[in-house]
Amino acid sequence: MPDRIETVYPGQERFVAGPDTVEVLAVDAVDADVQPAGFFKSAWLELRTKPVFIASMVLLAIILLVVLFPGMLAHQNPHHAALEDSLLPPSGKHWFGTDLQGHDIYARVIYGARASVEVGVLTTIAVVIIGGLLGVVAGFFGGWIDSVIARLSDIFFGIPLILAAVVTMQMLSSRNVLTVVVVLAIFSWPQIARIARASAIAIRNEEFITASKSLGASRFRTLFTHVIPNSLGPVIVIATISLGVFIVTEATLSYLGIGLPPTSVSWGIDIAAGQQQLREGSPILFYPAAALALTVLTFMMLGDVLRDALDPKARTR
């Protein structure tokens, strides 16, 4: 088609260039065979270029190695106590020295990661299941269901986590990893529920939800097929950050003597034991404290970078 002049309105004309005049560049070409990147795929393409994400994943891999295979990294028995080896300085046999009872501090730091991370991971899974499901149900269905769940979450949200955990754990005669997880999950689900509820409210009016209903899909099928998968982004972000909070909470409870039993190997228990020797100049407290801080920092870094990639509000800024 050659170049031509078209009349738009009386007295107003426009020039229309033909294909021979305008060169089609390579950037204007569209490959119809390439599938568009989904939400999580585009987030992954963004994440793998961020140094903070790479650093946090390397630290996370090291933490998982310590948790899953502590015997590969520490050959001493963390429960073995030799009073003749009490408060030994760092050496080739005891890299971090020994505590007052003669325990190898390095072995206790390595083995102590399992209890703390186990509590954090299990509590996070429980909170995501309970709070996430209640939140999306409240946000998607609305009405009296939303009102009941919202008021219930307000009640639990107003209770401080540490205070509630301290009071509840003191009432229990038997304490182990499962009891700590249950107590923390009971008082921690409202935050995840609020995030999931807000995501479900934003999603329930989208066009693909309307199309699903128009095709005859039931509300429950729409909920599990479309609403829950599309609400996972902000929930994953908050869950990752909360995991570090749960690890700190378990260490706090164990430090106060109302978390895991004294026979367990935990960073909180070792920090409490090391505090007694701090006034005498013994630095044994800093080894479990540094391991705890590094682990929490890893999950906080990972949560921050995931928020930038998965949170729709953060992605639009």
pLDDT band at residue 38 using 50, 70 and 90 as cut-offs: low
Per-domain boundaries in the chain: 114-316
Whole-angstrom Cα distance, residue 225 to residue 232?
Answer: 12
Count CB neighbours of 156 within 10 A: 17
CA-based nearest residue to 40, from 313, 306, 316 = 306
Residue 127 has pLDDT above 90, yes or no: yes
Does the domain formed by 114-316 have CATH 1.10.150.120?
A: no
Element (H, E) at 15: strand 12-16
Report the pLDDT value the prediction gives residue 316, as an integer from 0 to 100.
46
Query: What's the pLDDT tens digit per position in 47-94?
Result: 778 888 899 999 999 999 999 998 888 888 888 877 787 777 888 888
The Cα angle at residue 53 between residues 309 and 203, in degrees rounded to 5: 20
Per-residue CA distances from 268 to 45, 243, 274 (Å) = 38, 16, 10
Question: What percentage of residues in the chain have a pLDDT greater than 70?
Answer: 85
Relative orientation angle of helices 105-141 and 189-203, to the nearest 10 degrees: 40
DSSP state of 101: T
Contact present, 227 and 204 (Cβ < 8 Å)? yes
Whole-number average pLDDT of the chain: 83
Q: Regarding predicted confidence, which is higher, 56 or 100?
A: 56
Query: What's the pLDDT tens digit per position in 223-247?
Result: 888 888 888 888 888 898 889 899 9
CA-based nearest residue to 285, from 251, 243, 245 = 251
Sign of CA dihedral 214, 215, 221, 223: negative
| Residue found by looking up tokens 């228990």 in the block | 269
Report the pLDDT value the prediction gives residue 23, as an integer from 0 to 100.
61
The Cα angle at residue 190 between residues 113 and 312, in degrees rounded to 5: 90
What's the mean pLDDT in 270-283? 78
Phi, then psi, of 125 in degrees rounded to 5 = -60, -45
Q: Regarding predicted confidence, which is higher, 114 or 282?
A: 114
Report the pLDDT value the prediction gives residue 131, as an integer from 0 to 100.
92
pTM above 0.85, yes or no: no
Nearby residues of 107 by Cβ (< 8 Å), 6 or more positions away = 74, 75, 76, 77, 78
Residue type, 190: P
Residue 37 has pLDDT above 60, yes or no: no
